[in-house]
Amino acid sequence: MAQYFLGIDGGGSATRAVIITPAREVCGRGLAGPSSHYAVGPGLAAQNCLSAAAGAIADAKRLNPEFRSDQILAYGFGLAGVKRESDQNLMRGFLGEVVSKPFILETDVVAAHAGAFAGNPGIVVSAGTGAVVFGADEWGERFYADGWGPILGDEGGGYWMGVEALRAVCRSLDGRAAPTRLTSPALETMGVSDGDELVKFVYSQACTRDKIAALARVVFSLADEGVPEASEIRAKAATHIARGVKSVAKSLLQSRRDLALRLGETQVPPLEMLIALRGGLFEDDFMRATIGFSATEAMVELKREFFPIISWKVVKPQYEAAVGAAILAQLIV
């Protein structure tokens, strides 16, 4: 009998589902609304996961009339906002009410890591609406940097960039700073005409994180044109993310060195540090180049301090995050 695995990558903007074969070939896709319980609540988050899964199942049946949903052996969920045990338990309970198959629940960035490296060591830099860096090795060690959410962190993410752009606009509007070319496109993107309307909209329920994060594209465009405020925001965003990469790389190498001291150097081979970039912000050439350059600087510095590193490079993820979630599902069967 044919066997399949279903993976779901869910965040604050959308939920993507895929069905894969044991050979990791995608044979069905589905899309639904957000599945971050912080964004829409746990009940709707679970329902959106189910809707995305149903879409993938329908797509698989369309592509292969012999496909049956009972051939799916397990589900893998990679959802934003489930890093803490309390969040895990909450969503596990709601998902258990709508999913009858065995399933595994991890954060979206863990699923992205599984997809990027297919189980091998490496660091995933995820920068879309939010920002988080995650690293794991073959010994099971895991390390995070940022991912604290829009109030406490996510520095360098799209929402952070959007807020910084709006702050620059407000400083310009009230005279604390010189006029900026950010103002007109920022107001237009937000669908308002002046500062008063901006305040009213930003503090209304109609203003979503995605709406503010959309300003990142405005920042990128104007930064390419040399607008100082936009260039400064983009450069700061890259710096924040690069610091996360260095922090996670250092933690991974420190852990590896400690393990080598306990087990002996011959038992812990030097590490080839692979770094995968994920998220809409890395569509920007400057962001990709800056993170790559900053990663090289960090690795050169760390190599002087830690012996178990032989090389490093920025790589393209092998698979998307939803496939990574399905790969995690394979591990529990």
**pLDDT tens digits along 251-289:** 888 887 777 777 766 666 667 778 899 888 888 888 888
The percentage of the chain sitting over the pLDDT mark of 90, rounded to a whole number, equals 56
pLDDT of residue 302: 73
Q: Do domains 4-118+319-330 and 119-317 have the same CATH topology?
A: yes
Classify domain 119-317 at the CATH class level: alpha beta
- Structural domain boundaries of the chain? 4-118+319-330, 119-317
Cα dihedral 245/248/253/259 (nearest 10): -160
The token pair that represents 252 in the structure block: 């991974």
pLDDT of residue 124: 93
From CA 94, how far away is CA 129, in angstroms rounded?
A: 25
User: Which class for 97: exposed (0-12), middle (13-18), buried (19 or more C-beta within 10 A)?
Assistant: exposed
- pLDDT of 307 over the 60 cut: no
Instruction: Work out the pLDDT band at 310, boundaries 50, 70, 90.
Output: low
Q: What is the pTM of this model?
A: 0.85
* Residues 147 and 130: beta-carbon distance below 8 Å: yes
Spell out the residues 6+ positions from residue 205 whose beta carbon is closer than 8 angstroms to its own. Answer: none
DSSP codes joined into one string, 46-94: HHHHHHHHHHHHHHHHHH-TT--GGGEEEEEEEETT--SHHHHHHHHHH
* Residues 80 and 91: beta-carbon distance below 8 Å: no
From CA 127, how far away is CA 147, in angstroms rounded?
A: 10
pLDDT of residue 278: 85
Q: Which CATH architecture has domain 4-118+319-330?
A: 2-Layer Sandwich (3.30)
The total of other beta-carbon atoms located within 10 Å of residue 9's CB is 27
Q: Considering Cα of 161, then 164, then 168, then 174, what sign does the dihedral take?
A: positive
